[in-house]
């Protein structure tokens, strides 16, 4: 009994967060959150397949991974093209079945229901909703044939709370959350877990570009204002989202499916 108490009191290396032997496919892995997830997964043993509409961006992520001793390859893919997605997944599966899919590729949009054009609405839906559906459909068939897997969808707090000037974007992320719940239910019998993450504002190149284009000369002021919108007083860093993604895709989270995880600095529950 004394030996057992001693063993329990000693810090243990968490091997369950390792992804050794697993192939993880990350869409939109050429920058921002997707890049951080790809690098985090590779650092924890996964072989990473980076899909991005920009082959150059995907290859740069892979260069950083391989220079650090990880394993990664890049592939150009437009997730809105179902035929291309299916063929890309088929080709990748020939080099080893994909056991983890992270649906991250997406676009943002600023506008109300009145100012959002039909073209804007269709574009956001095509990438953020149909793109996720295309990749999930292609991945599930392969995962079923190989005894299971994990799907992680990147949603947003915009899908659960009312944000000003985010009509189309909020619509798309609410759809992602609902798709996650539905897929999780349908995939239970096939040992496929499906969850999603809903971040608040994350400091990515998109934010910097938005501030530069929208508030020239006032970037620092507006950055602070946007940061303070989170009760915790700052934006999240991509690596923090990647750490949650790692946990949810690891064996440590083997009992978790059908859940939307906010990572929002208190925005959802503490926003006053």
Token code pair at residue 24: 């993880």
Rounded to an integer, what distance in angstroms lies between the CA atom of residue 144 and that of residue 141? 5
Q: Which of 132, 169, 181, 190 is catalytic?
A: 169
Q: How far apart are CA 78 and CA 188, in angstroms?
A: 29
Contact of 147 with 191, CB cutoff 8 Å: yes
Q: Measure the CA–CA gap between 108 and 33, rounded to whole angstroms.
A: 14
Pair of tokens at residue 197:
């993450």
Residue whose entry in the numeric block shows the structure tokens 């707090």 = 157
Q: Is 261 among the residues known to form the active site?
A: no
Q: How many residues are there in the chain?
A: 272
- Residue 237 has phi, psi (to 5 degrees) of -100, 145
CA pair distance 142, 94, nearest whole angstrom: 11
Token digits for 144? 């079923």
Phi, psi (rounded to 5 degrees) for 167: -60, -60
Edge-first strand listing for the sheet containing 192-199: 71-76, 47-52, 23-27, 100-103, 149-154, 192-199, 260-263
Structure tokens, 230: 């989170």
Say if CB 4 and CB 26 are below 8 A apart.
no
Q: 222-249 burial by CB neighbour count: b if 16+ within 10 A, else e?
A: ebeebbeebeeeebbebebbbbbbbebb
- Residues designated as active site: 169
């Amino acid at each position: 009994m004394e030996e057992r108490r001693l063993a329990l009191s000693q810090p243990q290396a968490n091997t369950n967060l390792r992804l050794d032997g697993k192939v993880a496919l990350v869409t939109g892995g050429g920058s921002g959150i997707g890049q951080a997830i790809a690098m985090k997964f590779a650092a924890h043993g996964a072989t990473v397949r980076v899909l991005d509409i920009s082959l150059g961006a995907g290859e740069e992520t892979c260069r950083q991974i391989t220079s650090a001793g990880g394993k990664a390859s890049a592939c150009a893919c437009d997730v809105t093209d179902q035929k291309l997605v299916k063929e890309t997944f088929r080709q990748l599966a020939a080099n080893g079945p994909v056991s983890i899919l992270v649906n991250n590729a997406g676009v943002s949009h600023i506008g109300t229901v009145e100012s959002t054009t039909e073209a804007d609405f269709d574009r956001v839906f095509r990438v953020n909703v149909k793109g996720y559906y295309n990749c999930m459909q292609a991945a599930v068939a392969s995962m079923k044939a190989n005894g299971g897997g994990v799907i992680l969808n990147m949603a947003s707090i915009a899908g659960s709370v009312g944000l000003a000037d985010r009509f189309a974007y909020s619509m798309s992320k609410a759809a992602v959350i609902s798709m996650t719940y539905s897929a999780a239910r349908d995939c239970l019998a096939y040992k496929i877990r499906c969850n999603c993450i809903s971040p608040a504002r994350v400091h990515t190149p998109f934010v910097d570009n938005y501030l530069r284009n929208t508030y020239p000369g006032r970037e620092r002021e507006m950055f602070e204002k946007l940061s303070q919108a989170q009760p915790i007083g700052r934006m999240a860093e991509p690596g923090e989202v990647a750490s949650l993604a790692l946990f949810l895709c690891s064996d440590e989270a083997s009992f978790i499916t059908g859940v939307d995880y906010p990572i929002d600095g208190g925005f959802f529950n503490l926003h006053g």
